[in-house]
């Protein structure tokens, strides 16, 4: 029985080894190829006046057969597409764009690169491989390609013309941004032919459709006007600004308000919270400047149409680049920043009696002259209220001690508290009056050292 078991075990192992050997042979056979002599088309790319030719190869090492074969096919089609020359005609919209707008974009190469994405009716002529490379040879009849392209171009012109007409109709109804979107879609439909003439009948006349669409887009952008209420305004530093003062309206060539227009806002001073806005239904745009915190000076508010945002209406990167680089309307307003008016009310006391020297008020007046017009006769933008008093705190070791309590409140012209400082400190002297004088001297020093900076910082928030 033991011998019979060993024989059966040996037979099982032998069968398994045979199966592995057969599988190895089949795998080797699967990836094996018929060795052929290198064909002439691998050595030298064929030349013919009847066909576009595409030949390329892919390395085999490190890739599965499906991967290196697909890679070689893709490269061969790219080679075929590159042999289809794209000449920019002088009357085409691309020629006009590159000439008049001095764009550095290589649009013609972009159009060429996208040609292989629309290739049809090409033929696989042959493949060849050796141990290292896999080669593919494609051809495309020039006559077939020309016929196919003519049909596609005719359809593209028809699609673009319909969108162009829709854009004009919407513009006539003052639906400005919707019209712009249709113009962009029309130009996108013509993308493969932007370097060629696109003659078609437009309202009874033969015109280049690409140029007509581009001019419609350019006119739409150039006719947008940015209208300020004033060329120059005056504002007070750190004082909240009425929204209407820094607002403007976007209008078309007929002075009708235009909604949905993106703008870029630049301000040379400080206080701008957001530099991008979009016009509302009434064409109005409000600048997001609650208050200006830069030093009194002459500043400039600049507004321009945001062509980068406009370009996002195009899904195609070539059309997006064309729109992004178009010149846009701009307007400026001068902003004169002035110092705000400050009134100081002070009740400085010692032992409940008002002091004549008003030392804290005098200290504030001297330190705040650069930031405010400190004048009680002017209508105040801010009011600083000083309340202070000293109280006796007993005598210790031959010296009199006092406690000074003080509060500084800065409020705006609406009564809102902008800054508050409340504190109590203890000082001593040879008598109570000397101690009170010392207390006021030390508080004045604190105003110079830190409190004025804290107050100024609070109004600039």
pLDDT digits (tens, 9 = 90+) for 92-118: 887 777 777 655 556 656 665 555 556
Instruction: Tell me if 344 sits within 8 A of 361, measured CB to CB.
Output: yes
Contacts of 283 (CB under 8 A, 6+ apart): 249, 250, 251, 256, 257, 258, 259, 261
Q: What is the largest CA-CA distance in the chain?
A: 128
Among 144, 174, 209, give the residue marking a domain's end: 144
pLDDT of residue 19: 45
Q: Are residues 178 and 250 in the same domain?
A: no
Helices and strands: H and E segment counts in the chain: 13, 19
Q: In which residue ranges of the chain is pLDDT below 50?
A: 1-10, 12-30
Sign of CA dihedral 294, 299, 301, 302: negative
CATH assignment at residue 355 = 3.40.50
**Burial category of 88 from C-beta neighbours within 10 Å (exposed 0-12, middle 13-18, buried 19 and up):** middle
pLDDT of residue 110: 65
pLDDT of residue 101: 65
| 155-190: pLDDT as tens digits | 999 999 999 999 999 999 999 999 999 999 999 999
Among 144, 177, 206, give the residue marking a domain's end: 144
Q: Would residue 9 count as lying in a domain?
A: no
Quick one: which H or E segment has residue 131? Answer: none
pLDDT of residue 460: 83
DSSP code, position 231: S
Among 194, 222, 250, give the residue marking a domain's end: 222
Rounded CA gap, 135 and 55, in Å? Answer: 7
* DSSP-derived 3-state class of residue 154: helix
Rounded CA gap, 423 and 25, in Å? Answer: 96
Instruction: Tell me if 400 sits within 8 A of 390, measured CB to CB.
Output: no
Q: Are residues 76 and 124 in the same domain?
A: yes
Structural domain span for residue 184: 145-222
pLDDT of residue 7: 46
Q: Are residues 155 and 235 in the same domain?
A: no
Q: Are residues 211 and 240 in the same domain?
A: no
Q: Would residue 395 count as lying in a domain?
A: yes
Rounded CA gap, 360 and 449, in Å? Answer: 13
Rounded CA gap, 347 and 422, in Å? Answer: 14
Q: Are residues 152 and 252 in the same domain?
A: no
Q: Are residues 369 and 392 in the same domain?
A: yes
pLDDT of residue 23: 41
Tell me how many degrees the CA angle 156-159-163 measures, rounded to the nearest 5: 135
pLDDT of residue 429: 95
Cβ count within 10 A of residue 122: 20
Q: Does the reported pTM lie above 0.85?
A: no
Number of domains making up the chain: 4
pLDDT of residue 112: 56
Instruction: Tell me if 183 sits within 8 A of 168, measured CB to CB.
Output: no
Q: Would residue 315 count as lying in a domain?
A: no
**Burial category of 128 from C-beta neighbours within 10 Å (exposed 0-12, middle 13-18, buried 19 and up):** middle
Q: Would residue 371 count as lying in a domain?
A: yes
pLDDT of residue 106: 60
């Amino acid at each position: 029985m033991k011998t019979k078991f060993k024989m059966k075990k040996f037979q099982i192992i032998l069968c398994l080894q045979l199966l592995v050997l057969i599988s190895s042979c089949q795998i080797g056979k699967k990836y094996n190829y018929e060795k052929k002599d290198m064909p002439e088309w691998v050595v030298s790319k064929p030349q013919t006046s009847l066909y576009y030719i595409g030949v390329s190869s892919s390395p085999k090492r490190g890739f599965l057969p499906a991967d290196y074969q697909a890679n070689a096919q893709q490269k061969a089609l790219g080679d075929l597409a590159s042999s289809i020359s794209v000449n920019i005609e002088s009357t085409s919209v691309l020629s006009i764009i590159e000439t008049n707008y001095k764009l550095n974009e290589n649009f013609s190469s972009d159009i060429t690169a996208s040609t292989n994405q629309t290739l049809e009716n090409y033929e696989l002529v042959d493949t060849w491989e050796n141990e290292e490379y896999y080669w593919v040879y494609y051809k495309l009849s020039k006559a077939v390609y020309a016929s196919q392209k003519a049909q596609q171009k005719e359809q593209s012109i028809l699609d673009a013309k319909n969108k162009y007409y829709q854009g004009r109709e919407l513009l006539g109804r003052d639906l400005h941004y919707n019209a712009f979107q249709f113009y962009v879609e029309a130009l996108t439909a013509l993308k493969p032919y932007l370097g060629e003439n696109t003659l078609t009948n437009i309202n009874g006349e033969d015109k280049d459709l690409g140029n007509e669409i581009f001019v419609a887009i350019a006119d739409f952008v150039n006719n947008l006007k940015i209208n300020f209420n004033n060329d120059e305004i005056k504002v007070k530093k750190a004082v909240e600004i009425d929204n209407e003062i820094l607002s403007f309206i976007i209008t078309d060539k007929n002075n009708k308000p235009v909604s949905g227009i993106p703008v870029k806002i630049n301000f040379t001073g400080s206080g701008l919270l957001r530099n991008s806005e979009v016009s509302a239904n009434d064409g109005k745009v409000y600048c997001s400047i609650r208050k200006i915190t830069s030093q009194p000076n002459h500043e400039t508010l600049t507004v321009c149409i945001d062509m980068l945002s406009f370009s996002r209406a195009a899904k195609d990167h070539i059309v997006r680049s064309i729109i992004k680089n178009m010149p846009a309307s701009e307007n400026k307003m001068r902003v004169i920043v002035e110092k705000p008016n400050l009134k100081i009310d002070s009740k400085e006391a010692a032992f409940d009696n008002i002091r004549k020297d008003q030392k804290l008020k005098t200290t504030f007046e001297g330190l705040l002259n650069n930031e405010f017009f400190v004048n009680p006769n002017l209508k105040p933008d801010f009011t600083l209220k000083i309340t202070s008093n000293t109280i006796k705190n007993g005598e210790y070791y031959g010296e009199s001690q006092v406690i000074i309590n003080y509060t500084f409140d800065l409020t705006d012209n609406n009564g809102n508290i902008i800054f508050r400082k409340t504190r109590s400190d203890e000082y001593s002297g040879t008598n109570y009056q000397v101690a009170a004088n010392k207390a006021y001297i030390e508080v004045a020093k604190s105003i110079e050292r830190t409190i004025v900076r804290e107050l100024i910082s609070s109004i600039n928030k």
